[in-house]
Amino acid sequence: MQLGYVLGRRSAFAHLDSSNFVDSFTAVQINTKTGVTSPSKHQQWNERVKSRQAESDEAFVAHFRDKYDDEMPIWALTEILELGQLGRLYSGLNNSIATEIATTYGAPSKRVMSSWISSVNYVRNVSAHHARLFNRKLVSAPARPTLEQVPLLGHLKEATSAKQVFGVYNALAVMAYLLRSIDSSSDWAARVVALIQSFPDSAHLTTASMGVPPYWQHLELWSLRQRAQPSSQRSALMSRWPIG
């Protein structure tokens, strides 16, 4: 939604405008050993998106296909993109645009937000295929901000073991944090706490195997009582969207 909104303010087809992206995303790729060139990451992204449009049977996609030569504005295009495709588009954005989006979700930088999107996408893919997630090592572990950057996630920096650094707890903590800015009334964090606490006791498989730190359920992040968004954040969100 934020990608569609922020890019859409610039133009309906801002996702095609190379000036909105970093050079490494729009430049032709050259193999330094062979000298062989390949399309830029931006072009490859566009080609994959075109294929997704062609395969879609959504009514609104057919409308753009029939009435507008298959040209879809970014705010409509985001409706059919996979999370991985959204993540790749975000990672290619200029820092100013990416930071504006990151700030909406309380992320301190584009680098951190890109990492979070990648990690959430990895967890989503594992879950969608009904694979084991509980004590899995995260291939895409989320960046852990400092206490000064994100107080609610500062405890992640205290991790010392591999299980704590790459455990699924890190992704769950990031999700709980992101949901605070998306839906402050969500009870998702409370349900995660209840679910993990309901796991049977076992000497061979403990909650520590997913990277959970001691006394984690007492941290403010996992508070059973969802706190309202800071007034500054609420005002920023309200100023972006019309009321009523």
DSSP secondary structure letters along the chain = -HHHHHHHHH-TTGGG-GGGB-HHHHSPEE-TTT--EE--HHHHHHHHHHHHHHH---HHHHHHHHHSTT---HHHHTTT--HHHHHHHHHHB-HHHHHHHHHHTT-S-HHHHHHHHHHHHHHHHHHHTT---TTPPPSSPPP---TTT-GGGGGGGG--SHHHHHSHHHHHHHHHHHHHHH-TT--HHHHHHHHHHTSPP-SSS-GGGGTPPTTGGGSGGG-SSPPPPPHHHHHHHHHHS---
Which pLDDT value is given to residue 151? 95
Q: Sign of the CA dihedral 175, 142, 91, 63? A: negative
Instruction: Tell me the C-alpha distance between 170 and 163, whole Å.
Output: 10
Spacing of C-alpha 77 from chain mean position: 17
Residue 157 in tokens = 């920096």
Residue 178 in tokens = 């992101």
Which pLDDT value is given to residue 244? 34
Which pLDDT value is given to residue 141? 93
Residue pLDDT tens, the chain, 244 long: 999 999 999 999 999 999 999 999 999 988 888 888 999 999 999 999 999 999 999 999 999 999 999 999 999 999 999 999 999 999 999 999 999 999 999 999 999 999 999 999 999 999 999 999 988 999 999 999 999 999 999 999 998 888 888 999 999 999 999 999 999 889 999 999 999 888 887 887 788 888 998 889 889 999 855 444 443 444 444 344 443 3
Instruction: Tell me the C-alpha distance between 78 and 71, whole Å.
Output: 13
Residues 6 or more apart from 162 whose CB is under 8 A from it? 137
Instruction: Tell me the C-alpha distance between 37 and 223, whole Å.
Output: 52
Which pLDDT value is given to residue 234? 41
pTM of the model as a whole: 0.86
Sequence ranges of the domains in the chain: 2-102, 108-233
Residue with token string 């390949």: 38
Are 112 and 143 in contact by the 8 Å Cβ rule? The answer is yes
Which pLDDT value is given to residue 64? 96
Which pLDDT value is given to residue 224? 56
Which pLDDT value is given to residue 242? 40
